[in-house]
Chains A and B, each alone.
Chain A
Amino acid sequence: AQSVTQLDSQVPVFEEAPVELRCNYSSSVSVYLFWYVQYPNQGLQLLLKYLSGSTLVKGINGFEAEFNKSQTSFHLRKPSVHISDTAEYFCAVSDAGGTSYGKLTFGQGTILTVHP
C-alpha cells in the first residue's frame, strides 16, 4: 500500500516569489506520481505527472516537479507565482506495478495563498 504526506497544509507567499510545495510518499514498489490543482468550488485539474524517464517534469502554468527516488519525494516548484496560482494542490501516487489496480492515493492537500 502507498501513502502520501504533504508536509505543509498552508503556504503563504508574495506575488513573484518562488514557491515549493513538498510531497513525500511511501511505497514498496515503483510508483507513478501526480500533482493536481483545485480552484475554489471546482474539480481537480492535472498539473503534471511522472511516469518514467527524466526526473524533472514540467507541467502547466509554469510549474515543475522533481522525482527523487532516494528521498521518496516529488516536490512541486514554481520560480515566480501569480495571484491566480492561489488554490489547493494535491500530490498523489499510484502503483506502477499494477497491484493497486490503477487507484490513486492522495495527500491531504496544501493551500497556496499568493499575496499581492
Chain B
Amino acid sequence: DGGITQSPKYLFRKEGQNVTLSCEQNLNHDAMYWYRQDPGQGLRLIYYSQIVNDFQKGDIAEGYSVSREKKESFPLTVTSAQKNPTAFYLCASSIGPLGTGELFFGEGSRLTVL
C-alpha cells in the first residue's frame, strides 16, 4: 500500500542532543512537509520541499534542519538550538505545485526532551 512512514513513533532525547526524525513516502509525490503540533496550537509548518534538492522555511524553522536528497525521503533534524522541542511531529506529502493541496499524512513522531 502507498503511504507515508514516519519513524520512530516515540523518541526521548536529552537536552543538548540533536535528533533526526525519518519520513519516507512511496506515493511518488513531489512535495513533502514537516509540521509541529502542540496542544491547542493546531499545525505549524516547519519546512517544506516541492522538489528534490530544494526546500523552504515554514513558519517556525528556527532550530530545525532538513534535507531532500531523494524524492522519497525528507528527514527532519531537531537541533539543540530548538528551545522547546517536546512536541508531536507530522510529516506529509502532496502531489505538488500543480495539485489541489490535499495532504497525505504519516502517523507522527512524538519527541520528548528529558
The reply to whether the CB of B102 lies closer than 8 angstroms to some CB of chain A is yes
Q: Quote the shortest CB–CB distance from B37 to chain A (angstroms).
A: 9
The reply to whether the CB of B87 lies closer than 8 angstroms to some CB of chain A is no
The reply to whether the CB of B85 lies closer than 8 angstroms to some CB of chain A is no
Contact at A42–B97, with CB atoms within 8 Å? no
Q: Quote the shortest CB–CB distance from B72 to chain A (angstroms).
A: 18
Q: Which residue of A lies closest to B88 (CB)?
A: A41
The reply to whether the CB of A32 lies closer than 8 angstroms to some CB of chain B is yes
Q: Which one of A34, A43, A92, A102 lies within 8 Å of B106 (CB-CB)?
A: A43
Contact at B110–A41, with CB atoms within 8 Å? yes
The reply to whether the CB of A55 lies closer than 8 angstroms to some CB of chain B is no
The reply to whether the CB of A25 lies closer than 8 angstroms to some CB of chain B is no
Q: Which residue of A lies closest to B104 (CB)?
A: A46
Return chain A residues, CB-CB under 8 Å to B102. Answer: 32, 34, 46, 49, 104
Q: A41-B110, A45-B105 are in contact. Are A94 and B100 (CB under 8 A)?
A: yes
The reply to whether the CB of B21 lies closer than 8 angstroms to some CB of chain A is no
The reply to whether the CB of B25 lies closer than 8 angstroms to some CB of chain A is no
Q: Which of the candidate stretches B12-20, B40-48, B60-68 sits at the interface with the other chain?
A: B40-48
Return chain A residues, CB-CB under 8 Å to B95. Answer: 102
- 30 pairs across A/B with beta carbons < 8 Å? A32-B101, A32-B102, A34-B102, A36-B103, A41-B88, A41-B108, A42-B107, A42-B108, A43-B4, A43-B90, A43-B106, A43-B108, A46-B102, A46-B104, A49-B100, A49-B102, A51-B100, A90-B42, A92-B101, A94-B100, A94-B101, A101-B50, A101-B97, A102-B50, A102-B97, A103-B48, A104-B101, A106-B42, A106-B43, A108-B42
Residues of A within 8 A of B (CB): 9, 32, 34, 36, 41-46, 49, 51, 90, 92, 94-96, 98, 100-104, 106-109
